[in-house]
Amino acid sequence: MALHRVDGFSAVDALAKIPTEKPDLLILDISMPRLGGIQTVKQLRRAYPTKYYPVIMLTDDSDRARVKEAAELQINAYMIKSEFSMANLLDRIEKVLEQRADQRLTR
């Protein structure tokens, strides 16, 4: 799997790059400078209501309310950093991108 990474110093920077970069997937953290991950996803969904951007949340926050909020925003995967491994992240990325491809084929 070949990945092209687009960095944003903050979520605000990342949101500004979406129209030109057209990402296949976003990896966010709950706690980011200037705008948190949950708020970023809310803005993303508002700004692009007809476009689906898969999101993986990689975070230290395992609070059940936060996980539920992420699920309500249709975040594709919620990964806790203390349980993190690169192999696990790559596996999740692959699964999320496969799901996205399957959704495109059925539309």
On whether residue 3 sits in a domain, the answer given is: no
For the stretch 74-91, pLDDT in tens is 899 999 988 889 999 999
Give the model's pLDDT for residue 102.
Answer: 76
For the stretch 20-32, pLDDT in tens is 888 888 899 888 8
Q: What's the average model confidence in pLDDT over 40-53?
A: 86
For the stretch 47-62, pLDDT in tens is 887 788 899 998 888 8
The secondary element (H helix, E strand) that includes residue 77 is strand 77-80
On whether residue 56 sits in a domain, the answer given is: yes
Under a CB-based contact definition with an 8 Å cutoff, are residues 94 and 1 in contact?
Answer: yes
Tell me the sheet residues that pair with 78: 57
Residue type, 61: D
On whether residue 2 sits in a domain, the answer given is: no
How many domains, in total, are found in the chain?
1
Measured distance CA(100)–CA(28) in Å, rounded: 18
Residue 93: pLDDT band (50, 70, 90) is very high
Measured distance CA(59)–CA(79) in Å, rounded: 6
Look up the domain containing 75 and give its range.
Answer: 11-106
